[in-house]
């Protein structure tokens, strides 16, 4: 018996393969969107090439098509996420953690869509500076804290909704005292203070980008080229209450890391949420956060693809960033002193030095070296085959 490992037709890739040509006739894609479009379309298909394995006992043949490894592909993030969670667990301190979410008003969504790299950078900069500034304030923590931030640009309905999921320890390091200062049970900064400073910093950097002529305005926001209209928008945003919210603190780093692991390498929609493709319509599940209920939403296939591509990140854009104690430059210095003061040692990742087959076994509990039919033979690669057809 032979088996073939291919992409599922009921997924984002299957939708693009079936309706992608129709989408291309209606919409124009940016270069990074085109790259993601064709990668997801061809992932685990003959277009990517592959290899065949044969069992040395029963002769069973297994054929694999290659993965695209694109960071926006729903099929290619599982092992990456598991390895990231394990590495982060080795770096962090064994203390309680808060999960804080920074969002921006919907009035900024169109500007962010047209200027993603600039606006997303501002979002990271404003949120990190807000937390680190307030943690050093004598009124709150009087210490340096840390932050791991993960960018998401979507809501459950796939519309554009930029926000940051951040992980912040319940305390900070006081360098002068060489001591860890634990925070109160609740977050060490009142949310209203956090929101106000975040708003001020974000709008400061947005105005700077405007005065430096870094922002592009076209289409429905073309009028913002006019300084008066832009200033009117900014004034209205100063008057609004911005949403920053914090959830209950996690008891330990393992809980928050596993929780954030669900966000770290997540793409706009998982294939498991897609329930049906009928005619030219896609139905997928979504959670309505207003009432906490799971609901179904149906879109035209071309609209589904359009929304999916809204969340393709700019080239080389880093969506996971580390600040304060967790910044790369501090991990071997300040963070090491924190561990020493707490009597803890840094552990090594369990994936260090393993082959990708061993890493797969470690992550999933399944061995791809063992024959799936006779369960005793070893699968060895017997041939490779080149990509078939065009990748376009």
Return the exposure string of 50-60: e unless at least 16 CB atoms fall within 10 Å of the residue's CB, then b: bebbbbeeeeb
* pLDDT value, residue 347: 75
The pLDDT, as a whole number, for residue 249 is 67
Element (H, E) at 263: helix 253-264
Contact between residue 337 and residue 145 where contact means Cβ atoms under 8 Å apart: no
Answer yes or no: is pLDDT of 236 > 50: yes
Lowest average pLDDT, out of 40-44, 179-183, 264-268, goes to 264-268
pLDDT at 3: 45
Q: Where is 117: in which H helix or E strand?
A: helix 116-136
What percent of the chain shows pLDDT beyond 70? 94
CA-CA distance, 322 to 125, in Å (whole number)?
Answer: 11
Largest CA distance in the chain: 77
Q: What does the DSSP 8-state code read for residue 250? A: B
> What are the boundaries of each domain within the chain?
2-73+367-385, 78-268+313-342
Work out the mean pLDDT of the chain and round it to a whole number. Answer: 89
* Confidence category of residue 287, pLDDT binned at 50, 70, 90: confident
> Cα–Cα distance between 323 and 210 in angstroms, integer?
26
Give the CA radius of gyration of the chain: 24
Residue 353 class from Cβ within 10 Å (0-12 exposed, 13-18 middle, 19+ buried)? exposed
Q: What is the pLDDT of residue 93?
A: 84
Can you give the pLDDT at residue 2?
44
- DSSP conformation letters of 37-77: HHHHHHTTSGGG-EEEEEETTT--EEEEEPP---TT-TTS-
What pLDDT was estimated at residue 49?
92
Determine the pLDDT at residue 196: 96
For helices 301-309 and 31-42, the axis angle rounded to 10 degrees is: 120
Cα distances (angstroms) measured from residue 115 to each of 154, 165, 236, 326, 353: 16, 21, 20, 28, 40
Q: Please state which architecture CATH assigns to domain 78-268+313-342.
A: 3-Layer(aba) Sandwich (3.40)
pLDDT of 125 > 80? The answer is: yes
Assess whether pLDDT exceeds 70 at residue 4: no
Contacts of 163 (CB under 8 A, 6+ apart): 101, 102, 103, 104, 151, 152, 153
**3-state DSSP assignment of residue 104:** coil
């Amino acid at each position: 018996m032979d088996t073939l490992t291919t992409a599922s037709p009921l997924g984002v890739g299957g939708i693009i393969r079936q309706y992608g040509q129709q989408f291309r006739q209606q919409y124009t894609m940016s270069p990074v969107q085109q790259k993601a479009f064709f990668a997801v379309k061809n992932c685990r298909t003959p277009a990517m090439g592959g290899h065949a394995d044969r069992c040395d006992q029963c002769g069973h043949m297994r054929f694999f098509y290659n993965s695209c490894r694109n960071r926006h592909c729903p099929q290619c993030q599982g092992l990456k996420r598991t390895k990231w969670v394990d590495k982060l667990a080795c770096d962090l301190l064994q203390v309680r953690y808060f999960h804080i979410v920074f969002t921006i008003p919907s009035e900024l969504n169109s500007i962010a869509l047209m200027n993603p790299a600039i606006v997303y950078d501002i979002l990271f900069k404003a949120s990190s500076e807000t937390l680190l500034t307030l943690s050093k304030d004598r009124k709150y923590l009087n210490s340096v804290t840390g932050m791991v931030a993960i960018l998401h640009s979507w809501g459950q309905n796939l519309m554009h909704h930029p926000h940051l999921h951040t992980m912040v320890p319940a305390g900070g390091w006081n360098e002068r005292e060489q001591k860890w200062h634990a925070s109160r049970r609740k977050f060490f900064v009142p949310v209203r203070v956090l929101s106000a400073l975040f708003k001020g910093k974000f709008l400061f950097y947005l105005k700077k980008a405007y005065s430096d002529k870094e922002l592009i305005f076209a289409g429905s926001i073309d009028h913002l080229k006019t300084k008066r209209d832009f200033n009117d928008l900014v004034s209205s945003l100063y008057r609004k209450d911005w949403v920053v919210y914090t959830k209950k603190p996690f008891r330990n780093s393992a809980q928050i890391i596993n929780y954030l692991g669900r966000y770290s390498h997540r793409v706009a929609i998982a294939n498991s949420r897609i329930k049906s493709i009928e005619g030219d319509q896609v139905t997928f599940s979504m959670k309505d956060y207003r009432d906490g209920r799971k609901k179904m939403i149906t879109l035209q296939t071309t609209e589904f693809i359009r929304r999916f591509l809204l969340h393709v990140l700019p080239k080389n854009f880093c969506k996971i960033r580390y600040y304060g104690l967790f910044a790369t430059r501090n991990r071997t210095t300040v963070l090491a002193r924190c561990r020493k003061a707490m009597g803890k040692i840094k552990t090594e990742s369990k994936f260090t030095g393993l082959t990708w087959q061993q890493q797969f076994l470690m992550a999933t509990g399944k061995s791809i070296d063992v024959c799936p039919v006779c369960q005793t033979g070893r699968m060895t690669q017997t041939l490779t085959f080149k990509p078939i057809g065009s990748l376009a």
